[in-house]
Structure 1
Amino acid sequence: MKIGADTAPTTAISGSNPQTIIVRGHDLVEDLIGRISFTAHTWLLITGQLPSPAQEAMLNATLVAIAEHGLVPSVQAARMTLASAPEALQGAVAAGLLGCGSVILGASATAGVLFAEILDEQKASGGSLEDAIAKTVRAYRAAKRAIPGYGHPLHKDGDPRALRLFAIARELGLHGAHCHVALEVERMLPELVNRPLVMNISAAIPAVLLDADYPLLALRGVPLLARTAGLIGHLLEEQTHPIGFLMSHAAASAISYDGPAPEGFVANEN
């Protein structure tokens, strides 16, 4: 049974013949290889256009900012997967990426949606930005939804990565409406949610990229692309300096069994 609308089976991303490979209208060999950076190529693949120098620099900065942040759950999943299946590097990378969701890395996309909703509300109502923020944040709270991109268990006085991305956006002339919304949300949150929540990297990434005309629907891919590089670094280290099974043992030792057991049973994972 056919599902979906009747559309022509075409793609505008890539095509080839025996002589030429075309990527987004450019000759891969003659125009792109050795002539543009991977960051510029990423922008081209996603948007169909080569980036301006400012757009390339902004995307590059966000990729560098989010590629690595220690032994977070996605990295632990990848390293323990490789420890269990050392022949499957691709499986270990996939395990790490599958561990990225609404809490780890996925908040950049949802924060971008939040900022877009605020700007849409302001445009629709014709009111102030403050009113649009208040209405949108209160709707999130009423629906028991977290405010994505705000709060951090470690960087409670301000995420230094976020501060740096905003500084770069200003230097590049890309600090616009979305950056302003992100900062205003941070300023208003103590009043709206009764506690201060500082902006984290997951709010800064969509703010600076949306102001650079990066597409909203592709935001989720930026942290995934960046973290893939970090995962490969961890997985190389896992092969030469393994800690995957040590992490597994530490988890088993840290968690106590409290379920039913025969009389006299004492759990001992050691």
Structure 2
Amino acid sequence: MTVKTDIGTTTPDRITVRGKNISTEILGQFDFVDMIWWTTFARMPEQREKNMANLVLVMATDHGLTPSAISARLTYLGAPEALQGAVAAGLLGAGSVFLGSAQNVTEMLVRGAAPLTDEASDAQVRECARALVQEFRDARRPLSGVGHPIHIDGDPRIPTLAAVSRDNGYYGRHWRLMEAIAVVLREDFGRPLPLNAAGGVGAIFAEMGLDPLLARGLGLIGRSAGLVAHILEERESPTGQQIWDLVLAQDPRNALPVRQGARRA
């Protein structure tokens, strides 16, 4: 039995990725987005694809003390020898609520916009949005891509995501449908839930015609860089112990906690 991959091979004197010699044809010639596209699609990205991929990677890098950053810092508190474990812990929570929801939005928009063309009227787009919202309400399923616990009056990232999408030719029926969903929620159902970043990123990936899984994948790649930064900061200015102490302080049963292991200076 032969086990192989079409992505890369290694011999004693040569490493190839999708048929290119990494030493003579890739290193020094590809940037990181080039490499993502080459390994994933066996082709180089168009410039407008690179622009959008960089936009998503940069946006996903960090949002402050999010659940992923807290998870990474607390894991580092318990295992400071394992950077990879702390980063992995931060990524494991990338699901339908945090970070991974752009995949859900992409899937929803691809399906929901199937009856539409880019020339569809506003009324047609609104009707598709209304049908989608009603479908989720009837099924009692959460609707991804709208609402934010902090940016209740509108996610400040959305105007930039939309503007860059327009500049690069990726603003069409999927973006219009996502925006119409927020309008329908507000005007038809009395739910003021503006678009969030996942809604914008999902619209971008739907417009680009990319696999929805890549919407989550690029988010994970970008967030990995942010988590490494959090761990480096945690080493110099620890907050993990403070977070743990805050949790302990909420429960009187932990008034005299037993600490195991050595505390870092």
TM-score range (shorter-chain normalised) is: 0.7 to 0.9
Q: 1:101 deviation in Å?
A: 1.6
Indicate the residue corresponding to 1:109 in structure 2.
Answer: 103
Aligned residues: 253
Alignment of 1:85-234 (within 5 A): 85-120=79-114, 122=116, 128-234=124-230
Q: Structure 1-normalised TM-score?
A: 0.85
3-state DSSP of counterpart to 1:21? strand
Of 244, 250, 257, the residue aligned with 2:246 is 250
CA distance 1:238–1:213, shift in 2 (3 Å): same
For structure 1, which segment, 143-152 or 23-32, has the greater mean C-alpha deviation from structure 2 after superposition?
23-32
2:14 maps to 1:14 = no
Q: Structure 2-normalised TM-score?
A: 0.87
3-state DSSP of counterpart to 1:160? coil
**5+ residue gaps in structure 2?**
258-265
CA distance 1:20–1:194, shift in 2 (3 Å): same
2:18 maps to 1:31 = no
Indicate the residue corresponding to 1:56 in structure 2.
Answer: 50
Deviations 1:193-221 (A, max 9, x none): 32111101101112113323332232211
Q: 1:59 deviation in Å?
A: 0.5
For structure 1, which segment, 197-206 or 39-48, has the greater mean C-alpha deviation from structure 2 after superposition?
39-48
Q: Aligned letter for 2:42?
A: G
Q: CA RMSD in A?
A: 2.3
2:62 maps to 1:68 = yes
How many Å separate the matches in 1 of 2:34 and 2:159? 24
Indicate the residue corresponding to 2:236 in structure 1.
Answer: 240
CA distance 1:24–1:206, shift in 2 (3 Å): farther
CA distance 1:176–1:32, shift in 2 (3 Å): farther
Indicate the residue corresponding to 1:262 in structure 2.
Answer: none
Q: 1:95 deviation in Å?
A: 0.9
How many Å separate the matches in 2 of 1:267 and 1:244? 17
How many Å separate the matches in 2 of 1:158 and 1:241? 32
Q: Aligned letter for 1:205?
A: V
2:73 maps to 1:79 = yes
**5+ residue gaps in structure 1?**
1-7, 258-265
Deviating 4+ runs (over 6 angstroms): none
